[in-house]
Amino acid sequence: MTLDRPRYLAAALRRRGYLFSSWPWRALVYAACTLPIAGALFVGLLAVVVPLWATIRAVRQGQSVELPVVAFLTVAGLAMLALAPIVSAVVAPLERWRLGLVDPRPLAGARLRGLAARYTSPAAWREVAYTFWLGGAVPVAYWMLFLLILLDFTLIASPWLAADSDRVILVQTTVDTPAQAIPYAVVGLLCIPVLWYLLGLLVAVQAVVARRLIGGPVDGVALREVTRSRTRLVNAYEAERRRIERDVHDAAQPRLTSLTLQLGLAKLDVPDDSPAAKPLAIAHGQAKALMVTLRQIVQGIRPQHLAELGLAGAVRELAAATTVPVAVHADLRQPLPELVETTAYFVVSESVSNVAQHARATRAEVRLTQADQDLVVEVEDDGRGGASPGQGTGLAGLADRVAAVNGRLLLASPAGGPTVLRVELPCHR
């Protein structure tokens, strides 16, 4: 079995073959590219942070601070905050581009139009936060890693260093001869893979922070596109259903009706004792049964009484045919979109069917109301409760149907009842 190739550095670090892949070298290139950028930002921050730190220490020691120093720190701090959004506007795109070295996954930046957006947008200030983090925390982390690498290099080179000098200090131990330094050199060689992992871990953390702070709302954009695509698919599906309904109702049904009549007339003309009488009677019965089946299919596509009576009338007719007494209360002041009307009808149909089959209820109530620009459908029963989408009662499919029109389904069904199903469907035309 072949393993999927990791798509980014953080995932590659968890693989056994990390050290023998290209990811450590990519992390090294990324770190090398980071040094000049983070170094320049670090120097800029030091120009303000060092005098500020010295001033704070002086105040804590009870020393007086001259007014020019306070004025300089105030002006420098305000200038740094004022320039930070401008600097981040240059740093953020460069960092998004560099991120492809260790994390090639798509990363879109926030759309900031105009200079004012640089000072008012939360996304812009997240980029500022990343710029400060890149100029402050990253250089310190890289410096600590550099010290570890320097120490490891010293351990590896200790036999040669001991040969050229009288005494070499390694960590807290002093070695005088190359033979004494060999164990330290071996430890240094064994630490090389650890340093490779530390470098990868440091770069991975930097990449994660970069993706969090300077990445635009890619997921939100994708979610909106999925929502639009789903709406387009639902509308196309409903249009296709209406076309099938129209074709069946206007073409297939009349022809089948005519065929059934012709078979009935032929049956009347054929004597009962004729050899063709029995096959003709069977064909006539099958044609009538097929008419009933076809009528049920058309009813399942879009109930005819829904088109004739509207949602309230169709729900009342549905409630009258149910074995459990169902009271219907409808307050529909405005016409409803056809897709919303059809979805609401099937919600009530499935819910009432669940009440009759599973709830052991003695009564139920259906409420149809319009709140603002939403249609609210509520189905309540006094049954045993405990309804759940995972019980195979059709609630999962019902939730999917509601979600397809950007609606929301809420269910309250404690053990012992009652059960209340609430569906909110947007009615934007």
Largest CA distance in the chain: 129
Distances (CA, A) of 46 to 62, 73, 135, 249: 24, 12, 9, 80
H helix or E strand, kind and range, residue 377: strand 374-381
Task: Retrieve residue 17's tokens.
Answer: 């073959």
What is the predicted pLDDT for the residue at 428? Answer: 67
Which one-letter DSSP state was computed for residue 193? H
What is the predicted pLDDT for the residue at 1? Answer: 34
| Identity of the amino acid at 2 | T
CA–CA dist 319, 329 (Å, integer): 11
CA–CA dist 100, 108 (Å, integer): 12
Distances (CA, A) of 326 to 94, 312, 382: 65, 13, 11
CA–CA dist 364, 352 (Å, integer): 8
Q: Which of 242, 239, 243 lies closest to 231, judged by CA?
A: 239
Burial of residue 82 (number of CB atoms within 10 Å: 0-12, 13-18, 19+): exposed
Contact 199, 145 (CB under 8 A): yes
What is the predicted pLDDT for the residue at 251? Answer: 63
Task: Retrieve residue 173's tokens.
Answer: 């131990």
Q: List the chain pLDDT tens, one digit each, 429 residues.
A: 334 467 788 888 888 888 888 999 999 999 999 999 999 998 888 877 777 777 777 777 777 767 777 777 787 778 888 888 888 888 888 998 898 889 887 776 666 777 887 788 888 888 889 999 998 899 999 999 999 999 888 888 878 877 766 666 666 677 777 787 788 888 889 999 999 999 999 999 999 999 888 876 544 444 455 455 555 555 655 666 666 666 666 666 677 777 777 777 777 777 777 777 777 777 778 777 777 776 666 555 556 677 777 888 888 888 888 888 888 888 887 888 888 888 888 888 888 888 888 778 888 899 988 877 788 888 888 888 877 766 655 677 777 778 877 888 888 888 887 888 888 888 865
Q: Which of 94, 85, 91, 95 lies closest to 124, judged by CA?
A: 85
Cβ density class 240-260: b for 16+ within 10 Å, e for less = eeeeebeebbeeebeebeeeb
What is the predicted pLDDT for the residue at 222? Answer: 47
What is the predicted pLDDT for the residue at 429? Answer: 54
Alpha helices in 99-115 (DSSP H): none
What is the predicted pLDDT for the residue at 233? Answer: 57
Task: Retrieve residue 236's tokens.
Answer: 């196309």
